[in-house]
Amino acid sequence: MKEAHLTRCQVETPPDIVRLVWSLVSKQRPGQVFNSVLDLGAGDGRFSHVDGAYREYTGVERDVAKVSQAKLPPGAQLVVADALQWKGSDYEICVGNPPYIRHHGLETVWRDSALESIRTAGGPALKKTANAFIIFLTQALMRTKDDGVVAQVVPYEWVTRPSASELRAFIEGKGWNVYVYRFDSNIFPTVLTTASITIIDKRSSDGDWKFGVINRSGSIKLANHASGTRSKVLSYSDGSDTCKAIRGLSPGGQELFVLTEEERLFHSLKRGRDVRPCVTSLRSVSQDMELLDKDSFERIFVRTGSRCWLIRSDEEKLSPELTRYLSGINEPAWARYSTCTARKIWWRYRAHPAPALLVASGFTQKRPKVLVNEVGAVAVGSVYGVLIDETLNLARMMFDKLRDYDFHRRLVHHSNGLKKIEVRQLNAVLADLLPA
């Protein structure tokens, strides 16, 4: 994996969380002293600091500095190695807090090698979009005994995200019992995701999945579903030609492609010809606002200095002013973005249509913010667009239905009270709301 991402993802597990993981393991396996413990991505080996839980602990860590500075109890060792190349097996338990690195931050060769190693060992064929912790969690299952147990501190999102669907199907096929307890508070302040303690008991064959909310003292409140409510988590759909949600445009660096009003004027770029309205965030919009028209766009985005003008470098013919603006951007500025480097002409992105509705992907209340897009702004970044067949005149009706829909009960927590809806989940909602 990329060293820069590896450094950023090294988040130390608080000692009380380490103890909490081991206490839950003890409840799962009362009185058992484990002969062999494995910890993949062990850091300084802090999961070895527990009394009477094991006889031998092996931590695998690629960071030499972490290993050299570690102080370990008797019976524990740290090995400098790549956790995904580790061939040791038949451990009675695998504990730990694997790195949280999105698939974009994984080196292609490393990722493909890790996925192939898992697959050829009889594990699931994970997607290439699987985040690092999913790969580590799968490796933990492959390196433990047939009746072993896995106890990991991982993002709660794995219980629903499509990128982990192969892992969930693999576990369900084995009939193992799964216990997933998401924390009711943010135990990792620098990580924008909701953490959980996940325990997978390979000794069981009931195939039970239990969900709950846990606090730092170990008190657990069980829930019916992964959503934490009585409602099932939203399913995923691809949408239809009639009504479909799309991700916000990612042209490759908003500071390059999306300008403020001051920047637009400075570079003598004309509205309509060189730039068009866009929305990169709905944070500044009130929850009860319904319509984004020309006046409200000017008031909320243009006059406040927000980045709200998308340069029209998707056009075949550019004005001299826009050409001059693009020529003034040096290569180091745009080469930082893989989106730009992958294109024949770094600035020529594929145009996105102006959607009928704008929808925020994240929210803290009952539902995300939704706006009727009368000004014709392009959805950019974290803002989704809803495309609706103009001949059907459904925009206002779908807006009203989305505003009444209780998203909150059907999504998992993302971080700090924030919930996020995936674009394919939004498509599932739209499909349910469309008139028959």
Segment 412-434 shows an average pLDDT of: 87
Provide the pLDDT for residue 191. 65
Residue 228 lies in a domain: no
List, for residues 194-212, the tens digit of each pLDDT value. 899 999 999 988 999 999 9
Domain identity same for 284 and 177? no
Q: What integer is the mean pLDDT of 204-223?
A: 93
Mean pLDDT to the nearest integer, 24-41: 96
Is there a contact between 282 and 239 (Cβ–Cβ < 8 Å)?
no
Q: Of all residues in the chain, what percent carry a pLDDT higher than 70? A: 96
Q: Could you report the per-residue pLDDT of 131-159, keeping only the tens digit for each?
A: 999 999 999 999 999 999 999 999 999 99
Question: In DSSP terms, which residues pair with 309 in a beta bridge?
Answer: 259, 277
% of the chain surpassing 90 pLDDT: 82
Q: Is the pLDDT at 9 greater than 70, yes or no?
A: no
pLDDT at 39 over 80: yes
Per-residue pLDDT tens for 357-413?
Answer: 999 999 988 899 999 999 999 999 999 999 999 888 899 999 999 999 999 888 887
Q: Which of 102-111, 136-145, 395-404, 423-432 has the lowest mean pLDDT?
A: 102-111
* Structural domain contains residue 108: yes
Asked if residue 128 and residue 253 are part of one domain, the reply reads no
Answer yes or no: is 233 within a domain.
no
pLDDT per position as a tens digit, 53-65: 999 999 999 999 9
Say if residue 335 is in the same domain as residue 408. yes
Contacts of 297 (CB under 8 A, 6+ apart): 277, 308, 375, 377
For residue 235, tell me if it sits in a domain. no
Query: How high is the pLDDT of residue 416?
Result: 64
Alpha helices (H) along 165-260: 165-174, 254-257
Q: Is residue 238 part of a domain?
A: no
Query: What's the structural domain count of the chain?
Result: 2
pLDDT attached to residue 271: 98
Please report the pLDDT score of residue 16 as a whole number.
96
Write the pLDDT tens digit of every residue in 258-268. 999 999 999 99
R_g of the chain, CA atoms, integer Å: 25
Q: Give me the chain's average pLDDT, please.
A: 93
Q: Which domain holds residue 413?
A: 243-433
Give the residue-averaged pLDDT of 332-349: 95
Distance (Å, rounded) from C-alpha 131 to C-alpha 165? 12
Least confident of 163-177, 292-306, 408-422: 408-422
Residues shown for the chain: 436
Rounded mean pLDDT of 98-121? 88
How far is Cα 382 from Cα 145, in angstroms, rounded to an integer? 42
Contact (Cβ atoms closer than 8 angstroms) between residue 135 and residue 84: yes
CA atoms of 372 and 290, how far apart (whole Å): 6
pLDDT of res. 192: 61
Helix H or strand E encompassing 291: strand 291-292
Buried/exposed code over 275-286 (b: 16+ C-beta within 10 A; e: otherwise): bbbbbbbbeebe
Same domain, 19 and 110: yes
CATH for 155: 3.40.50.150
User: DSSP secondary-structure letter at 348?
Assistant: -
pLDDT band at 436 (very low <50, low <70, confident <90, very high): confident
Distances (CA, A) of 114 to 37, 124, 327: 21, 12, 41
Do 270 and 188 share a structural domain?
A: no
Cβ neighbors of 349 (< 8 A, separation 6 or more) are: 249, 251, 252, 257, 313, 314, 339, 343
Tokens 């302040």 — which residue?
Answer: 189
Separation between Cα atoms, residue 226 and residue 231, nearest integer Å: 9
- CA–CA distance, 371 with 368 (Å, rounded to integer): 10
Q: State residue 392's pLDDT score.
A: 85
Query: What's phi and psi for 173, nearest 5 deg?
Result: -65, -30
Question: Which of the pair, 193 or 264, is modelled with greater confidence?
Answer: 264
Angle of helix 108-120 relative to helix 132-143, nearest 10 degrees? 30
Regarding whether 254 and 146 lie in a shared domain, the answer is no
Lowest mean pLDDT among 1-15, 124-138, 410-424: 1-15
Mean pLDDT (whole number) for 156-176: 94
Confidence at residue 1, expressed as pLDDT on a 0 to 100 scale: 46
Count the alpha carbons within 13 Å of 385 in the hemisphere toward its beta carbon: 23
pLDDT at 130 over 50: yes
Whether residues 109 and 193 share a domain: the answer is yes
Residue 26 sits in the same domain as residue 169: yes
pLDDT score for 419: 86
Are 300 and 420 in a shared domain?
A: yes
- Shared domain for 151 and 121, answered yes or no, is yes
pLDDT of residue 47: 98
The reported pLDDT for the residue numbered 5 is 44
